[in-house]
């Protein structure tokens, strides 16, 4: 079978190949159109940025949802504050709202312009994520009677001081904790050395061999135990 196309002689197999390429191209265009309608945006990893409601500073549309997934390098948290906030006010922000989430927890549910007894608006407050990831969700319901203009917010990465632990939590380091931008490291007092786990400090206490038989319980070694036998002495962890 032969066909003529603009002066070129094409075999049937070539015609099939061109038809398949056309199908693939149409499929690619369709997927691109569908992907453009996805409402979730993964913000590229950077140290600061700006996000706004749809159409800002104009009136935001009805029945709209948009999600920003903001990620900064590990060792940092995300600090966000609002320079403009004008959303519909509703009881417990059930209609239009901006929700901030981090670490599986809701940091804030925001709506209106000013805080009330049951609703929260950001005002001059800043919000900080619990880790290096912050999710911002904007949602509007099916109708608004007034021209609400939405929000404008700026975010920035902020170093997490791992050495400042709450009093009811276990310290990261046995002796000394040193914070730096994006992380921390541990060190030990004079006479001790840092264990392989980079957090525990160890030292050796040598005892007379005659004392060892009087120990009533065998001692197991390991970085999680307080004491372990070594030669004719003890290696203890602090």
In a domain, 233, yes or no: yes
Pair 128, 95 in one domain: yes
- CATH number, domain at 231? 2.10.25.10
Q: Which residues of 65-76 are buried (b: 16+ CB within 10 A; e: fewer)?
A: ebbbebbbeebb
The span from the CA of 163 to the CA of 23, in Å, is 58
Q: For position 111, what pLDDT does the model report?
A: 97
Q: Determine if the pTM surpasses 0.75.
A: no
Residue 85 sits in which domain range? 40-159
In a domain, 54, yes or no: yes
Pair 117, 148 in one domain: yes
The span from the CA of 78 to the CA of 126, in Å, is 10
In a domain, 9, yes or no: no
Question: What sign does the dihedral 32-38-42-44 (CA atoms) show?
Answer: positive
Pair 126, 206 in one domain: no
Pair 50, 154 in one domain: yes
In a domain, 34, yes or no: no
Q: What percent of the chain has pLDDT over 70?
A: 66
Q: For position 15, what pLDDT does the model report?
A: 60
User: What's the order of all strands across the beta sheet hosting 227-230?
Assistant: 193-194, 201-206, 233-237, 227-230
Name the one residue in this structure whose structure tokens are 């075999």: 11
Q: For position 35, what pLDDT does the model report?
A: 39
Instruction: Tell me if 203 sits within 8 A of 235, measured CB to CB.
Output: yes
**pLDDT surpasses 80 at 5:** no
Pair 137, 182 in one domain: no
Pair 180, 154 in one domain: no
Does residue 96 or residue 238 have the better pLDDT? 96
């Amino acid at each position: 079978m032969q066909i003529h196309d603009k002066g070129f002689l094409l075999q049937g197999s070539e015609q099939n190949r061109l038809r398949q390429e056309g199908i693939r191209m149409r499929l690619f265009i369709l997927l691109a159109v569908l992907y453009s309608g996805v409402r979730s945006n993964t913000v590229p990893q950077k140290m600061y940025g700006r996000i706004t409601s749809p159409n800002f500073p104009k009136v935001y549309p009805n029945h709209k949802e948009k999600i920003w997934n903001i990620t900064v390098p590990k060792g940092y948290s995300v600090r966000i504050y609002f320079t403009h906030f004008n959303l519909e006010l509703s009881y417990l922000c059930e209609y239009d709202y901006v929700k901030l989430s981090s670490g599986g927890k809701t940091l804030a549910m925001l709506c209106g312009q000013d805080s009330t007894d049951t609703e929260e608006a950001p005002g001059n407050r800043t919000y900080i994520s619990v880790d290096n990831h912050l999710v911002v969700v904007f949602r509007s319901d099916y109708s608004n009677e007034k021209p609400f203009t939405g929000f404008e917010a700026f975010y920035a990465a902020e170093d997490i001081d791992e050495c400042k632990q709450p009093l009811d939590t276990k310290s990261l380091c046995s002796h000394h904790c040193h914070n730096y931008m994006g992380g921390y490291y541990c060190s030990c007092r004079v006479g001790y050395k840092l264990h392989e786990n980079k957090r525990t400090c160890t030292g050796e206490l040598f005892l007379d061999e005659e004392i060892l038989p009087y120990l009533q319980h065998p001692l197991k070694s390991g970085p999680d135990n307080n004491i372990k036998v070594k030669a004719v002495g003890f290696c203890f962890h602090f």
